[in-house]
Structure 1
Amino acid sequence: MGKQRRNQRKNAAMLDSDDTDSVSSSSTIRSDQMLGNGGEELQIDKESVLDQSLDALYEKRGSTRENALVTIIEAFNSSLPHEFVEKKFATMLHQCLNSVKKGSAKEVALASHAIGLLALTVGSGKKAQEILEEAVSPISEALKSRSESSKIASLLDCLAVITFVGGNEPEETDKCMQIMWQVVHPKLGPNVVATKPSPPVITAMVSAWSFLLTTMDGWTLDPKSWQGSISYFSTLLEKEDRSIRIAAGEALALIFEIGNLEKFSIQEGNNKDVTYIHGLRAKVLNQVKNLSVEAGGKGLTKKDLNNQRNTFRDILEFLEDGYSPETSLKIGGDSLTTTTWCQLIQLNFLKRFLRGGFIKHMQENEFLHDVFDFTPKKKLISGVSGTEKRMYKSPNSALNKARTQYLNKQRMLSQDKNAGHYASGFDEE
């Protein structure tokens, strides 16, 4: 229990740390309409600023569109502009998709982030499904460009978010996970030269793929796919980049949490498969043990080393004893806790995606309340009355809440069933 409490304190500290990778904190749309006579700034409501920014997405100058997207992102981070979305949803989606198709790498990254924020704001329902249907093809094409790592990472994050919110069927989610997989395992034609993905792209792919895996039922996935993913993530544990190692380690922990490894043994008496999977899981356990106590290396920061050790100690405890790390995060005066790898991966992904807007969305976004079964005692309702708040509630909120709570319950049952199972299951024979 002492180790569990140490893990809980450590993860609480980790989750409460400040994020520094925000898109921007000062960029705004420059418009004559924002200045009055004598240079006195007018008080323009956020919807007007969003309208101006949306209009600016029609401009030919790329820098103008980029600045407009920055402002849109800031607005969606600082509030949930439901009224604007009700009126301009289709226009914003299509203009952002135009930026994905034709913009610079920076513009594509910003537009991708804006589309993800739009999906999180509308919540589950027809609008989220429309975002997914309209955006999958352009995002898939943009991912083939092998452009800057930041652009590819943003596209992967966007695809993960819109699928998480708008995907209602396992087939839809599986299709998007395959698109992600092909970023690092491309299907090459006769005249196509393979390019080695950068560490940030690999990390982003593994993180996005794992985020979507949290919504899948392990029994519905093909055993061969499980074997292939475990084998690949095992090779990533040997990479020098620690962000890759951590992402791969968490992905493996999630696979073992939601997947039943006994399924691998039911291969119509195929002893070769049984021997292979036993050898693979023994290898993973040995890798996790080594990474949990790895000594520092030249040029590597102590923080990165500590993050790796702490993560893999948690993974090791889970594999040996079946206990997932418990985390606690303060949201205003409330505490959001996680007790499974599924919940932790969802929380960390959305915290990283929302950046400076994370607290605001956790306090007001009903979709996220449903995902985490979290109800803050005090909601920040700036400028929105209770009546208006109810008006903009997602029409599918009850359905989504039932779906997400069912999935989380399945994860908990799987965790309880597997508690103590891994110690014997990972012993080398």
Structure 2
Amino acid sequence: MGKRNNQRKNKAMLDSDDENSSVSSSSTARSDLMSVSGTDEVQVDKDSLLEQALDALYEKRGSTREKALAAIIDAFNTNLQHQFVEKKFATLLHLCLNSIKKGSSKEISLACHAIGLLALTVGSGDNAHEILEESVIPISQALKSQSDSLKTVSLVDCLAIVTFVGATKTEETERSMQIMWQLLHPKLGSNVVAVKLPAVVITAVVSAWAFILTTMDGCSLNSKDWQEYISYFSTLLDKDDRSVRIASGEALASIFETGSIEKFATENKTTPDGSVPEGNKSREGYTHILGLKSKILNQVRSLSAEAGGKGSAKKDLNSQRNLFKDVLEFLEDGYAPDISMKIGGDSLQTSTWSELIKLNFMKHFLGGGFIKHMQVGFLGPAFVCPSCFLCDALLFLLVSIAF
């Protein structure tokens, strides 16, 4: 079957609510910073404001540190000067890590966001790699205490961002993916108790996992581990929560896009010299792969046409149907959805699942700051915003997306 001529194109328009939310957030953060610094006058020097916020992170009072982190996040989201990052990179990183180690759930969440923005601002290179290596252990340890959904989601999002920007080896990416996998599917033992994760956490972890997957080369995947991943995501398609189903559908589409299923089937079907193996174990493995793919196709087909039920949210139902229609077409015909996002007077196009997952995750992480940075960064001279280096980071992040 050829690609349908009237293939659905999703358009994400600039929402005035996002703009208002961003302005409101900025005003609040600046007001907080003024109370942190104890000044009554509004200071226009943004470097000075950032310096005050940085100094406030040394304070013992948790609420003071929270206000300072909120102000730093606002500065990064709006107009961060590169000189500040160059001078204070290590100090900001380690103060944020201290907040992750000893802060409240709110402080941890803010610190995670600040670290993620710092990684995006410095872009790929030695500093980004340092952020990753310095952050992995504190984040991993904090995730062992799953006392709060907001904290857990923020930690996972931060790990995804710093890994995406800072990882230089496949092993580093796989390490972060394994940390996330242990949250979803822990290996139970005498000292490990199974914890039922809230749907919001499952959705966040699966989305973050899929986001990191977009950097992986299908040739480096281990078939045994990835069969386990695919089987687990298939079970999530049967969950009651639609956000969990949607995140799992995107993760599976991303796995299939790497060519992993074909690779797994080939590994189980042939020996190193290309001949068909005689052992029952190999034949069973190949049969398992085919059966798993068939099961997922049936699940996807069903979810793309779900009728809904009493009390179900129509918006979520439509999102699910649309997503799984795209996944179904991809699995059957090999075509990923064409997505168009309107930014100002221009459009950003994606044509692969990898590109779409990157874009959606960045929209989620940057929130109200996403449109502003994308609009200035993409529409400015040579696609560079001279006063905001986060735009450069976004260009680095979305380098594979066709404009």
* TM-score, length of structure 1 as denominator length: 0.82
Q: Distance in 2 between matches of 1:86 and 1:32?
A: 24
SS of residue in 1 equivalent to 2:80: coil
Q: Distance in 2 between matches of 1:272 and 1:19?
A: 54
**Partner letter of residue 191 of structure 1?**
N
Q: Distance in 1 between matches of 2:244 and 2:15?
A: 21
- Check conservation: 1:184, 1:202, Cα contact below 8 A: yes
Deviations 1:165-195 (A, max 9, x none): 0001111101110011111222344233221
Q: Distance in 1 between matches of 2:182 and 2:16?
A: 33
**Partner letter of residue 93 of structure 2?**
L
**Partner letter of residue 144 of structure 2?**
K
Please name the residue that 2:243 is paired with: 243
Whether 2:5 is the aligned partner of 1:12: answer no
Aligned to 2:34, which of 15, 27, 30?
A: 30
Please name the residue that 1:114 is paired with: 114
Q: Distance in 2 between matches of 1:274 and 1:205?
A: 29
Residue pairs, 1:75-94, within 5 angstroms? 75-94=75-94
Following superposition, the deviation at residue 295 of structure 1 comes to 1.2
Deviations 1:392-415 (A, max 9, x none): 978xx9xx79x965xx79xxxxxx
Cα RMSD between the aligned structures? 2.7
Residue pairs, 1:329-340, within 5 angstroms? 329-340=341-352
**Partner letter of residue 43 of structure 2?**
Q
Deviations 1:144-172 (A, max 9, x none): 11121111011000000000000011111
- Check conservation: 1:249, 1:315, Cα contact below 8 A: yes
Residue pairs, 1:280-291, within 5 angstroms? 280-291=292-303
Q: Distance in 1 between matches of 2:263 and 2:63?
A: 53
Please name the residue that 1:414 is paired with: none
Please name the residue that 2:196 is paired with: 196
Does the C-alpha gap of structure 1 residues 220 and 191 become closer, same or farther in structure 2, counting only changes over 3 Å?
Answer: closer
Following superposition, the deviation at residue 261 of structure 1 comes to 2.2
Aligned to 1:294, which of 306, 313, 321?
A: 306
Of residues 115-124 and 267-276 in structure 1, the stretch that sits farther from structure 2 once superposed is 267-276
**Partner letter of residue 344 of structure 1?**
L
Corresponding residue pairs, total:
381
Whether 2:351 is the aligned partner of 1:347: answer no
Does the C-alpha gap of structure 1 residues 46 and 147 become closer, same or farther in structure 2, counting only changes over 3 Å?
Answer: same
Whether 2:168 is the aligned partner of 1:164: answer no
Report percent identity of matched pairs.
60
Q: Distance in 2 between matches of 1:375 and 1:354?
A: 18
Does the C-alpha gap of structure 1 residues 33 and 16 become closer, same or farther in structure 2, counting only changes over 3 Å?
Answer: closer
- Check conservation: 2:236, 2:248, Cα contact below 8 A: yes
SS of residue in 1 equivalent to 2:312: coil
Please name the residue that 2:146 is paired with: 146
Q: Distance in 1 between matches of 2:117 and 2:208?
A: 15
Following superposition, the deviation at residue 48 of structure 1 comes to 1.2
Q: Distance in 1 between matches of 2:245 and 2:15?
A: 21
Unaligned runs of at least 5 residues, structure 2: 272-276
Q: Distance in 2 between matches of 1:90 and 1:159?
A: 18
Following superposition, the deviation at residue 80 of structure 1 comes to 3.2
